[in-house]
């Protein structure tokens, strides 16, 4: 792990080094770079793999002033003098990848997202809205264990229970969530500044975009990712059976193969 100093505290990241094409792995909300532990060793054989902890997550500093995750990522890539990079993100990480393609296009070669469209989510599925209400009640009551259990249920999706998910995955998710939620207080301001008009601007993304969804994810998450793949000029979507919101964690071999093949197409096109 390495640390990158910013004006609002240090951000930490994993960097395998090397001269391969830069591949940046962006984690989901309330977890950290460890969600990629089944990707890094495999992908590092061919690529320079960089896996940061987003501000306020894992080992990175909390915000004390307004910020955007995309600007933090851009600052890190410029600090490392790498790019354009392939950005791979699940959930919040995918949203950061899309934001970066919009706000810092010169740093992005291609984007892979999972379970997300842009940083403007659209939730109408009763399973999603009910889960969000449950999480809100748990936080209002200060019941952190209940919040963690509720948030972890994204791993199962609406068609399974957590008992159906690899328990090593469940334990790691809970550990990452506990570490991140423990960094914050209920009274703390939300300093994150949203990127504006992401859906209306998505058609201007000129780099290839691949959506890799867990087939058992919620209808909302699937719809947003597939919508993004339709909007961008070079977009396509695929799915991995038997997994929901974290396909990279549940079926790493399938996920890794899709990432590697997608980057091969960039190489074949001379990109």
| Confidence category of residue 83, pLDDT binned at 50, 70, 90 | confident
Residue 131 inside a domain? The answer is no
Question: Residue 109: CA atoms inside 13 Å, Cβ hemisphere, count?
Answer: 20
pLDDT at 270 over 70: no
Q: What percent of the chain has pLDDT over 70?
A: 99
In the chain, how many domains are there? 1
Domain extent, residue 240, equals 2-123+185-268
Q: Do the domain assignments include residue 169? A: no
Q: Is residue 180 part of a domain?
A: no
Q: What is the mean pLDDT of the chain?
A: 96
Pairwise CA distance, residues 36 & 224, whole Å? 22
Dihedral, CA atoms, 73, 29, 190, 74, nearest 10 degrees?
Answer: 10
- Whether residue 99 is predicted with pLDDT greater than 70 in this model: the reply is yes
Q: Please tell me the distance from the alpha carbon of residue 139 to that of residue 141, in angstroms, as a whole number.
A: 5
**Quick one: pLDDT at residue 271?**
60
Q: Which tens digit of pLDDT belongs to each residue from 41-57? A: 999 999 999 999 999 99
Per-residue pLDDT at 164 exceeds 80: yes
Here the CATH number for the domain that contains residue 6 is: 3.40.50.1820
Give the mean pLDDT of 236-263: 97
pLDDT of residue 49: 98
- Whether 190 is in a domain gets the answer yes
Min mean pLDDT across 15-24, 138-147, 241-250 is at: 138-147
Can you tell me the mean pLDDT for 193-220? 97
Mean pLDDT of 135-163: 93
136 within a domain of the structure (yes/no):
no
Whether residue 151 is contained in a domain is answered as no
Within a domain: residue 148?
A: no
| Range 126-151 burial, b when 16+ CB lie within 10 A, else e | eebeebeebbeebeeeeeeeebbbbb
237 in any annotated domain: yes
pLDDT digits (tens, 9 = 90+) for 9-35: 999 999 999 889 999 999 999 999 999
């Amino acid at each position: 792990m390495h640390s990158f100093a910013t004006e609002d505290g240090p951000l930490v990241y994993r960097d395998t080094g090397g001269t391969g094409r830069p591949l940046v792995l962006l984690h989901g909300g309330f977890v950290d770079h460890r969600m990629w532990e089944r990707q890094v060793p495999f992908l590092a054989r061919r690529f320079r793999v960089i896996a940061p902890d987003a501000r306020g997550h894992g080992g990175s500093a909390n915000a004390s002033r307004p910020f955007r995750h995309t600007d933090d990522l851009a600052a890190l890539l410029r600090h490392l003098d790498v790019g354009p990079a392939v950005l791979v993100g699940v959930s919040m990480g995918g949203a950061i990848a899309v934001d970066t393609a919009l706000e810092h296009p010169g740093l992005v070669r291609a984007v892979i997202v999972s379970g997300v469209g842009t940083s403007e989510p659209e939730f109408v599925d009763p399973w999603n809205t009910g889960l969000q209400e449950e999480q809100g009640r748990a936080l209002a009551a200060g019941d952190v264990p209940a919040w963690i259990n509720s948030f972890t249920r994204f791993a199962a999706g609406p068609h399974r229970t957590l008992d159906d998910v690899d328990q090593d995955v469940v334990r790691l998710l809970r550990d990452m969530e506990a570490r991140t939620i423990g960094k914050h207080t209920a009274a703390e301001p939300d300093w994150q500044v949203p990127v504006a008009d992401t859906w209306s601007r998505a058609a201007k993304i000129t780099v290839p975009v691949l959506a890799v969804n867990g087939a058992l994810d919620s209808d909302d998450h699937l719809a947003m990712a597939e919508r993004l793949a339709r909007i961008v000029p070079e977009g396509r979507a695929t799915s991995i059976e038997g997994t929901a919101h974290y396909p990279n964690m549940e079926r790493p071999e399938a996920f890794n193969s899709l990432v590697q093949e997608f980057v091969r197409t960039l190489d074949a096109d001379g990109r």
